[in-house]
A and B are shown apart, each in its own frame.
Chain A
Amino acid sequence: MSQEHMLNIGGLHEGVVLDHIPAGKAMDIYKRLKLDKMDCQVAMIMHARSSKMGQKDIIKVEAPLEHLNLDALGFIDHTITVNIIKDAKIVEKRDLRLPRKLINVIHCKNPRCITSIEQGLDHVFYLADEEAEVYRCIYCEEKYHSAKKRS
């Protein structure tokens, strides 16, 4: 592999750093964001020392922000910090919020829901209660808690 195609673990030239991930959660986020299916280099640092959290995980992704599903990330854990890197510098810190709407991030588990039989139907959830972090299926109103609340 040539030098220009290597990802520098210490620094990232262009891409996104997901910081303040609760220790041990990076692999789960890697899968949920489908980073394994993206054509880019990813570095995962697990159980890094953190003054704020004691231990934390970090994921560095060598891809533009638009390639990441921030709604999915916000649903997983809206306290994660998103740093946007350009020319090896943090140019922006993006706060995550619980998304108002989730499209195909989670699937409705209600066997009586129309999503269980209708072909090609997006699984859509709306934020019904921000404080309690409750989402509901737009079709059957089945209740789901955000991933953070459930963990």
Chain B
Amino acid sequence: MRHCMSPLDFTVEELDQMMDLAARIEKDPEGYAHVCDRKKIATLFYEPSTRTRLSFETAMLNLGGSVIGFSSAQSSSAAKGESVADTIRVISCFADIAAIRHPKEGAPYVASLHSSIPVINAGDGGHQHPTQTLTDMTTIRQLKGRLTNLTIGLCGDLKFGRTVHSLISSLVRYPGIRFTLISPEELRIPDYVREDVLEKNHIPYEEVIRLEDALPDLDVLYMTRVQKERFFNEEDYVRMKDFYILDAEKMKLAREDCTVLHPLPRVNEISVDVDNDPRACYFRQVQYGVYIRMALIMTLLEVTK
């Protein structure tokens, strides 16, 4: 039995197989509509996350399965003080697979140690969010046709943005990847990502401050939100949140085939006047998120078609 705690739990070959499956599902959703009949996913969300939870639930429903779970710690037995270990032991009796989001880092891993069903980390604090990374990778692969030889621009909050760290760690395993890291000085990529991931793997990268300077060279622009909850005070947040706003004017600098992605939700870092630009792919990214979660559920449940 396997769990999914980090995108690096899977080899490049395994990821490619999963993304191939997601592509087959996209082409023929009807063909997969009953592969998980009578199977149940438990979505155990100890903190609110509407889109990730609904994406998991949609994925299971699309596969013919059903859904149980809770969407906040207050509506779970955690409010009574139950441990994660006990909760997953109980849930293992009800469901076939579980997706867990928890504000504490490592909580899904603790669950996996005590679980008799596969556990998927659906986000644990600022630590890991593997299905977002799988979503990002699948989107790039489907839209660009490859995960190799790409210049990827990452823009916004590169310091606290776990999706950025996770995406970098996953993409460095593919040849010919270059990064352009676009952020204010205060929100630059942490040293451990720069040293332990980029420099250790001899990955070419540059750090720039102005989005306009980076745009003309990018195959992919990955925008991120400056998250209010990552700041200790309101003043810092207000000062930095508008630093990097992509609008139709800036998009004129981007290449014809540039792909703009965003893990969502956006606040105002992508102006709504970009939404109708064919290069804006962040809503398609959400759809790919469902396909790859379907593929992940099938893989962990060892369901074949």
Which residues of A are in contact with B by a Cβ distance under 8 Å? 110, 112-121, 137-141, 143
Contacts and interface: CB of A to CB of B under 8 A. Distances in A.
Contacts of B110: 114, 118, 121, 139
B102 to A, nearest CB: 7
A110 B105 contact: yes
Nearest to B104: A114
- Interface size bucket, B side? 10 to 19
A112 B83 contact: no
Interface of B: 83-85, 102-107, 109-110, 124-127, 192
Given A140-B127, A141-B127, A143-B192, A113 B106 contact: yes
A120 B83 contact: yes
B168 to A, nearest CB: 15
A115 B84 CA distance: 11
Given A114-B109, A118-B104, A140-B105, 6 more contacts: A114-B102, A118-B83, A121-B110, A139-B105, A139-B106, A140-B106
A100 B85 CA distance: 25
Nearest to A137: B106
Contacts, number: 48
Contact of B104 (A117, A119, A138, A141): A117
Nearest to B106: A139
Secondary structure class of chain A's binding surface, majority of residues = loop
Contacts of B124: 114
Nearest to A108: B106
A137 B105 CA distance: 10
Contacts of B103: 112
Most chain A CB atoms below 10 A, which of B83, B105, B192: B105
A116 B83 CA distance: 12
Contact of A139 (B85, B109, B126, B192): B109
Contacts of B127: 112, 140-141
A120 B86 CA distance: 11
**Which 4 pairs across A and B sit closest by C-beta, in order of nearness?**
A139-B106, A140-B105, A114-B106, A114-B104
